[in-house]
Structure 1
Amino acid sequence: MTDVGIVGAGAGAAAAAFVIDRTVPEADVTVLEKSGGLCGRAATRRHDDLTYDYGANYLKSDDDRVVELITETLDDEGLVEVTEPVYTFDVDGAVSPGRDADEHKWSYRQGLTQIAKRLFGRTDATVHRRTRVETVRRTSAEDAWELDDADGETHGPFDRLLMNPPAPQTAELLRTAEWDDPLRETLVDAVGGVEYGSVWTAVLRYPFELDVPYYALVNTDKEHAVGWISREECKAGHVPDGETLLVVQANGAWSTEHYEDDPAGNVAALADHAADIIGDDRLADPAWTDHQGWRYALPEVGVDGGPVDSARDAGLYLLGDWVAGEGRLHAAIANGLDVGERVAYRI
């Protein structure tokens, strides 16, 4: 019996667990997730009759393995495609067509978290939610890994350990790890060198439907306070007919500057920006709002692959979009599939 421990229940972790379970069914997989949800920044909330993806916006078809996984291997019931295009806007708020290069833009009627839920659901993995890992320990006697959580409980020993949190959180766990190996410091430096951009998101509901030809607007010159605006009503099953639900995401600089500000003020500011960009004054006064700050939203650079590769010899695997070097949902899933295959091969 091989015991596999996974820290974090993001999309990459779910894909890795899925591959390990299919390839090495005798392996025992345990997942420790600090939050109450699954799929990391590919997050979904529900409010009354609304369903909305307020982190990652959709899954794009940019990797053949991921496309096959989502459309063929997994149950595609409830899979919905956004057919409206993505337009652009500049620092002055001028909107133009022509950005939409993604062949497919997918979510689910129940939201993007279905990806991780369906992947974990096809495994025998034990998933502990609201379990924050505080200490990582390498046991020399058993040549294995143990994890201590915030409640003082120890998990393991694990023959293989997979770490899926964002790079800064992974680096901190490795920095404080009880692991007497020169590789640890090298790995901490490499992982800690991955810089992230923050994203502060406002969700805005209106009792009317916008008459615009696009699903979303993206700021291509990176100079506007807003980086992204999308319409959740373009996803079947997310918004009641005749209504609008906007997801407005500030750019990195604005998000960092205002991250700790009063949320009501941030929401009002982003609603004003949305009204100005879309050209509809009604949008400055939403009927209902929600918000979320993502401190570690988008990795700006990839990680040095050398130390990450070397860590595998100690049974330690790092995974996620930051390891793939691209802050996109499909990249996280593809990296998880790759890591799962590497773990299964070594087992």
Structure 2
Amino acid sequence: MSHRDGPAGSRDRESTEPIRVGVVGAGAAGAAAAYALRDAGATVTIVEKSGGVCGRAATRRREGCRYDHGANYVKDDDELAASLIPELGTEGLVDIEEPVWTFDADGEVAEGHGDDGRKWTWSEGITQLAKRLLARTDAAVHRRTRVEAIDRAGGTWHLTDTDGADYGPFDVVLLTPPAPQTADLLGATDWDDDRLEPLIDAVDAVSYRTIRTLVLHYPFRESYPWYGLVNVDKDHAVGWLSREECKSGHVPDGESLLVVQMSPAWSEAHYDDPLDDAAAAAADHAADLLGDDRYRDPDWVDDQGWRYALPESGAETEPLRAVEAAGLYVAGDWVAGEGRVAAALRNGYEAGERIRGEQAGE
């Protein structure tokens, strides 16, 4: 085997210089990695393609409303999430009290199993997760910066954005975008090492479900015993419907806002449909599920397409870990094989701890 570059841990460990870490993506995984490194004597630089942070755990504002239009909440059934989230500050932390119920292909709604646990977001939106993690670090975050190439030379890594700007040198690079985007970046990596191709193959093998979210606002509010409805047999045009007014601070009194996430099959078939057409279809389905024709006529709508919404499975571990000795890491819910914010949070934090171990020479 030809490994032309030495491991990240081969730097002089007597040096007082901090380890330099470049992170691509300021989602839950990238923010958690930075948090894990916050007191490890590392300098962390994050480059993020969008104007916000927290990736698919996204929040928007419109006409007095806040709404989480990607990931809806963070569950507390993950040990790290259960301990970490309260540590980030309880002010504005929202536990959605109403349960999640189910519906089938015929639109028949049924009571859930009562095992939801805590469902966390914040009065200012679920993006507070990454914002609060990053606020407790010294990481430099460059937003609206899209990385298009990675280079390994002289034992360090460099990132190049679409404007030709260079970021680096880094001792370690952590990639956290969805697997297809990470595979593209790895394909544009200038590194002559026989570990790279198996890594690209492993990342490229991860498949995703596509989801289009429609947001429907109404100038009235009804009471229901549930917060969200999930399709259990995966045979309905709607995969998920939830009431954003169940989150404190999100929707003004007397108004309601439905977040309708269409099924992967519907989303792929209608991904590029005009907003008015897609919203009308979602509103019709919502009215049928709720048994109320008023929901066919929202007074304003919004949408977001998530081409890489949920990973179908995790990546093969061995090729991912093989490159860590050279200072190249990947993290995200797709590495864990669970399409959940808590999985991305945990996986990013664990990657940060492994990088921290390199700093300590462990």
Q: Shorter chain as normaliser: what TM range?
A: over 0.9
The alpha carbon displacement at 1:93 in A equals 0.4
Alignment of 1:264-343 (within 5 A): 264-343=276-355
Quick check: 2:75–2:81 contact (8 Å CA) kept in 1? no
Aligned residue in 2 for 1:211? 223
The alpha carbon displacement at 1:101 in A equals 2.3
Aligned residue in 2 for 1:32? 47
The alpha carbon displacement at 1:48 in A equals 2.5
1:49 counterpart = 2:64: yes
- d(CA) in 2 for partners of 1:100 and 1:87? 9
Aligned residues: 342
Aligned residue in 1 for 2:145? 131
Aligned residue in 1 for 2:32? 15
Aligned residue in 1 for 2:192? 180
What TM-score do you get using the length of structure 2 for normalisation? 0.93
Aligned residue in 2 for 1:76? 90
Gaps of 5+ in 1: none
- 2:38 aligned counterpart, secondary structure: helix
Cα displacement string for residues 222-279 of structure 1 (whole angstroms, at most 9, x for unaligned residues):
0001000000000000001111100000011111111112121111101110110111
Quick check: 1:61–1:102 contact (8 Å CA) kept in 2? no
The alpha carbon displacement at 1:99 in A equals 4.0
- d(CA) in 2 for partners of 1:76 and 1:340? 24
Aligned residue in 1 for 2:10? none
- 2:37 aligned counterpart, secondary structure: helix
Specify which of 93, 98, 108 is matched with residue 112 of structure 2. Answer: 98
User: 1:117 is aligned with what amino acid?
Assistant: K
Cα displacement string for residues 297-328 of structure 1 (whole angstroms, at most 9, x for unaligned residues):
00001100010111111111100100111000
What RMSD over aligned residues (CA atoms) do the two structures have, in Å? Answer: 0.8
- 1:21 aligned counterpart, secondary structure: coil
Specify which of 181, 184, 195 is matched with residue 169 of structure 1. Answer: 181
The alpha carbon displacement at 1:100 in A equals 4.3
- 2:195 aligned counterpart, secondary structure: helix
Gaps of 5+ in 2: 1-17
User: 1:104 is aligned with what amino acid?
Assistant: R
Aligned sequence identity (%): 57
- d(CA) in 2 for partners of 1:303 and 1:197? 15
- d(CA) in 2 for partners of 1:227 and 1:343? 38
- d(CA) in 1 for partners of 2:114 and 2:174? 35
- d(CA) in 2 for partners of 1:250 and 1:28? 41
- d(CA) in 2 for partners of 1:158 and 1:37? 24
- d(CA) in 2 for partners of 1:125 and 1:178? 26
Aligned residue in 1 for 2:268? 256
Specify which of 72, 82, 103 is matched with residue 89 of structure 1. Answer: 103
What TM-score do you get using the length of structure 1 for normalisation? 0.97
